[in-house]
A and B are shown apart, each in its own frame.
Chain A
Amino acid sequence: MTAPLSIELLYREESGRIVATLIRLLGDFDLAEEVAQEAFAAAITQWNEGAVPDQPRAWIVSTARHKALDAIRRRAILSKKQREIAVMAAIEERVAPAADDASAMDVVDDTLRLIFTCCHPAFSHEAQIALTLKTLCGMSTEEIARAFLVSPVTMAQRIVRAKSKFRAAGIPYRVPGPSELPERLEAVMTVVYLVFNEGYAATAGDAIVRRELCAEAIRLARWLVELLPAEGRPRALLALLLLHDARRDARTRGGEIVLLEEQDRSLWDGAQIAEGLVLVEAALRAERPSAYALQAAIAALHARAKRAEETDWRQIAALYELLAHLSPSPVVELNRAVAVAMVDGPERGLRLLDALAARAVLDDYHLLHAARADLLRRLGRFEEASAAYRAALALVSNDAERRFIERRLAEVTGPLRPSERC
């Protein structure tokens, strides 16, 4: 009846936390994932027959433990190795009865352990992301491969390599101590942010998988907020993700990109915006707002504007200036220039962009050329605009963005400039 649905929900919500507990008990990522899968499979058969347990989560953990013990016993018998038998004895001790009802505290700690281990700085970002999605989010290797546009074999190798490094290099399965926490949390938030960006930035590839990446990133950010209530930064990150993701339905129309100012704002997710705005307020009250808080505040100003013309560009430009001081990057300067153009006119914005272009740090970034082209277009300097659009086209990799730039290029070379049409 409703059992299959509830198992699926339980899997979505709990598989990461269940695997987290199993990894602590078993000391082995692969075995933990394998027996968790088997336990969920057993749940589907048994619960469908009407035997739904009172505490589904505890049932899964306990079933998975028994399956793990069986697996270890089989291995021990096969290898007849003293070491395997010793490992089994140790695990039997830890897995022993009483432990069946893991306390709420254990679940929190286990989940944090897994989050910090997946995002351990000894792994590359690529490995951190793959490991996080696989073990915490319960995505399959194929799904992750599809989301990152690599072959399943490549993704599988990445995951295997990370897991074997976890074992061989002695990466600890623990929550970092207070002195390391700030830095380690930063690494975790970077991973969450990268997962979100991968889903949000590109519109190529499998749209459903990409949307799922955004949802998983939001779920991870929620976990951080819930598990580390004393930390302000996860709240700012969650706000940022919620406010961006709220625009998802308005961002594309028939596979084409719709610019922020042209989006149908009634399609924005009002509930998500409301939640994001509350979080932003709290994040900005912090003594030193993080870069995530400033970015979230910028997203909040966009979200507050009922119509594009009501956008408070002056405040957005000011926030970008703060952001440029806090975490300087050419991309932040690019965005600031665009905001300044909205406040003080395209000429001022273009001066900033030209200064940025002169530093040649963003030569390969199509959005710099597209932004310059846009300001040149607004100034009526069509010839220079079309050159800049062409530079952007040569660099853009996303199809929807390419079509957008092509349309703009046609505008400046087409009807307005019939002489250049041949």
Chain B
Amino acid sequence: MQYMLLIYENEAIANAMPPEQMGAVFQEYGTFTKSIVESGHFKSGDALQPIATATTVRIRDGKTVTTDGPFAETREQLGGYYVVEAKDLDEAVAIAARIPASRTGSIEVRPVMVFEGGM
């Protein structure tokens, strides 16, 4: 079996953290990632940019509708995910618009965090 572990947290808490504490948290993530890589559990995983960078894509009446921010429909539940390589947001949005659920639900497009020098 494979499982996707979804990390939900309050961004405001992380934003308010002093740098040392933040550093400690990052270190903890590093240790955790390393441990599950070594134990063979790790498949893939990434940190995401803050919700302020999110764009939501929906197809309505055959038209691509993009809006600022994460989706906010409580009727919709997370049903899957893709990680894609795209040259810019426009390309990512065009790909998102081809996902069947974009016609009935919504696709949140959020850039993946890239850490300088890797982790």
Residues on A lying within 8 angstroms of B by beta carbon are: 83, 120-124, 127, 161, 164-165, 168-172, 176, 180, 183
Contact = CB atoms under 8 A, between A and B. Distances in A.
A127 B52 CA distance: 12
A191 to B, nearest CB: 13
Interface residues of B, number: 22
Nearest to A172: B88
Interface stretch (B9-17, B34-42, B62-70): B62-70
Interface of B: 49-50, 52-55, 63-64, 66-69, 86-90, 92-93, 109, 111, 116
23 contacts: A121-B67, A122-B89, A124-B67, A124-B68, A124-B69, A127-B68, A161-B52, A164-B53, A165-B52, A165-B53, A168-B50, A168-B52, A168-B111, A169-B49, A169-B89, A169-B111, A170-B87, A170-B88, A170-B89, A170-B92, A176-B90, A180-B90, A183-B64
**Most chain B beta carbons < 10 A, residue from A83, A120, A165, A180:** A165
A164 B52 contact: yes
B49 A122 contact: no
Which of A120, A124, A169, A176 has most B Cβ within 10 Å? A169
A359 to B, nearest CB: 22
Contacts of A170: 86-89, 92, 111
A124 B66 CA distance: 10
Contact of A172 (B54, B69, B89): B89
A129 to B, nearest CB: 12
B52 A122 contact: no
A122 B55 CA distance: 6
B111 to A, nearest CB: 5
B89 A123 contact: no
Contacts of B53: 164-165, 168-169
A164 B53 CA distance: 8
Nearest to A173: B88
Nearest to B64: A183
Given A121-B67, A123-B68, A169-B55, 8 more contacts: A121-B66, A122-B66, A124-B67, A124-B69, A165-B53, A170-B87, A170-B92, A172-B88
B63 A183 contact: yes
Contacts of A121: 66-67
Given A122-B93, A161-B52, A165-B52, A171 B88 contact: yes
Contact of A168 (B49, B93, B109): B49
Which among B89, B109, B111 has the greatest number of chain A C-beta atoms within 10 A?
B89
A160 to B, nearest CB: 10
Which of B68, B87, B109, B116 counts the most chain A CB atoms within 10 A?
B68
A199 B50 CA distance: 34
Contacts of A122: 55, 66, 68, 89, 93
